[in-house]
Structure 1
Amino acid sequence: MIIAQLSDPHLQPHGVLYQGVADSNGMFRTAVEQINRLTPRPDLVLLSGDVVDGGTMAEYAVARELLGELQPPLLLIPGNHDEREAFRSSFAHHDYLPATGPLHFNVRDRGPVRVIGLDVTIPGHHHGDMDDAAAAWLEEALASEPARPTIIMMHQHPFLSGIPYIDEYCCRRGERLAAIVGKYPAVERIVCGHIHRFMQLRFGGTLLCTAPSTTTAIALRLQPDAVPASHIEPPAFLLHHWTAGRDLITHTVPIGTFAGPFPFA
């Protein structure tokens, strides 16, 4: 099973640049076109939050338009820049999304790998939280099929990355998530967005990785007093490749057109 993961497009109304500098809509369309051209085509696409930048209905109209061009099926969760109820109404045709409350989901009919969407966002705030309700929901979801290969998708990262100005907005009480996941060895990967960079670490007895943004990259500044900054670096997405009897492999795929292919390896 091949699963592409897009993240943090921060889509804008038509004609508006993200932060006044980046054509996030055009960059996301390029990402969608590249995924559509992949051979073999992914079985599923995940979008791990911050679909839009301001949570407005005008932005969600653009998101529906651009995502309508995506050929593989899609699962998506909100991020801190999304507005929960506008997100819910805009993607009401995604029948796996609940009608009320946090936008958790437990999707088991898209292939051999189950995908759990864990909505740790807090409306009106930029950080996330593994609160009592989220912990109880996740425990029940994992226990429903404890041996099923599973990917957990969330937005905010539940660990400290070392970049101080993004860690301020991490998912708090991540140790609760690690404790729950540690009881279920069939969790192949926890995947996040939010951090606008690729990172990977051991977490809760499995691997956790964050996806790059399809627009800007948060600057990799590890000084405790670092000033917030971003760059327009080459955007990318992740490609998760699962095969029965083998481990799940995650690839980072740059978005764009590059020289080649050349007849050597």
Structure 2
Amino acid sequence: MPGFIQITDTHIVAPGALAYRRSDTADALRRAVSTINAKLPLLDGIDCVIVTGDLTDHGTPEEYAHFAAIMADLELPWQAVPGNHDRRDAMRAAFAPAPWIPGDGPIQWVRDFGPFSVIGLDTLLEGAHHGELSLDGVGFLEAALAAIGAQPVVIATHHPWMHSGIPAMDADNLHGGATLMARLEAHPGPVRMISGHVHRAVTGQIGRVTCQIAPATCHAVMTDHRVGCDPQLTFEPGGFTVYRWRIEPEPSLVSDTIPTGSFSGPWPFAD
């Protein structure tokens, strides 16, 4: 069955540096790549990795080169949409040979997986932490949805519109997302929206749209539901999310969040 892996918020900095003076994001991404490669023989039908933004921490050419060097060890092709820590021109210049990178404008694309499609949307508003979908993005979405008809669709963005319950993060989610959600509600097939930005695994339902936020490969944002508190990072196991199309008991997209790293086992339940 076809499927893909989502990683997000890798926040790669210059070689030898730490993000926020504490987080070794390069080592975390290397651990994620190693874990994905090790799991691939157990994961049937995975076609690619989709990176939902914040590939780098400052959007510099040096950081994108560092990201690309680590991802070169990945045993799958990958493609990405930008996040608020990315810079569109630098990202485009770094990955311009890739077929999914458009020559200009927002970095967005469509990938056909057979029974479903993924539409990657660019929600980067440079200079801001929150995200917005531009008029170009709305037009791209309209054309992509029209082209796939009633086929099930996954919308991949960096910024979620669903609130996570962490006020400090929810203030910087996707602004103006009601327009996007109204269009997704009108799609005749099943719809899922997958995002990053919050550095935690969070799932919710908005109307007909299943919304998922994936954990970061590196540090997490601490769960803190109190109003008025600044976001804080914490070191929890990084993770990635596997999505596979299943035909039983009914056709659907099933997700599984897997922590990165090596863990003891496996052993049989009964010796």
Answer whether TM exceeds 0.5 for this pair.
Answer: yes
Aligned-partner Cα distance in 1 for 2:98–2:106 = 15
What are the superposed Cα offsets for residues 117-160 of structure 1, whole Å, 9 maximum, x if unpaired? 10011112111113433223212211111222321100011132
Residues 192 and 209 in structure 1, CA contact (< 8 A), matched pair in contact too = yes
> What secondary structure is seen at the aligned counterpart in 1 of 2:204?
strand
User: In structure 2, which of residues 154, 158, 173 is the aligned counterpart of residue 151 of structure 1?
Assistant: 154
Aligned-partner Cα distance in 2 for 1:112–1:68 = 29
Structural mapping, 1:185-264, within 5 Å: 185-244=188-247, 245-264=250-269
> What secondary structure is seen at the aligned counterpart in 1 of 2:252?
coil
TM-score, normalised to structure 2, is 0.92
Partner of 2:136: 133
> What secondary structure is seen at the aligned counterpart in 2 of 1:228?
coil
Aligned-partner Cα distance in 1 for 2:230–2:126 = 26
Partner of 2:170: 167
Residues 181 and 204 in structure 1, CA contact (< 8 A), matched pair in contact too = no
Q: Which amino acid aligns with 1:247?
A: S
Aligned-partner Cα distance in 1 for 2:188–2:109 = 20
Aligned-partner Cα distance in 2 for 1:204–1:92 = 37
Residues 150 and 187 in structure 1, CA contact (< 8 A), matched pair in contact too = yes
Residues 185 and 206 in structure 1, CA contact (< 8 A), matched pair in contact too = no
User: Where do 4+ consecutive residues of structure 1 move more than 4 Å?
Assistant: none
TM-score, normalised to structure 1, is 0.94
CA RMSD, aligned part only?
1.6
Partner of 1:86: 90
> What secondary structure is seen at the aligned counterpart in 1 of 2:210?
strand
Q: Which amino acid aligns with 1:84?
A: R
Aligned-partner Cα distance in 1 for 2:25–2:88 = 21
> What secondary structure is seen at the aligned counterpart in 1 of 2:162?
coil
Residues 48 and 78 in structure 1, CA contact (< 8 A), matched pair in contact too = yes
Partner of 1:69: 73
Unmatched 5+ stretches in structure 1: none
Aligned pairs, how many? 264
Partner of 1:44: 48
Structural mapping, 1:21-32, within 5 Å: 21-32=22-33
Aligned-partner Cα distance in 1 for 2:240–2:25 = 14
Q: Percent identity?
A: 34
Aligned-partner Cα distance in 2 for 1:162–1:243 = 30
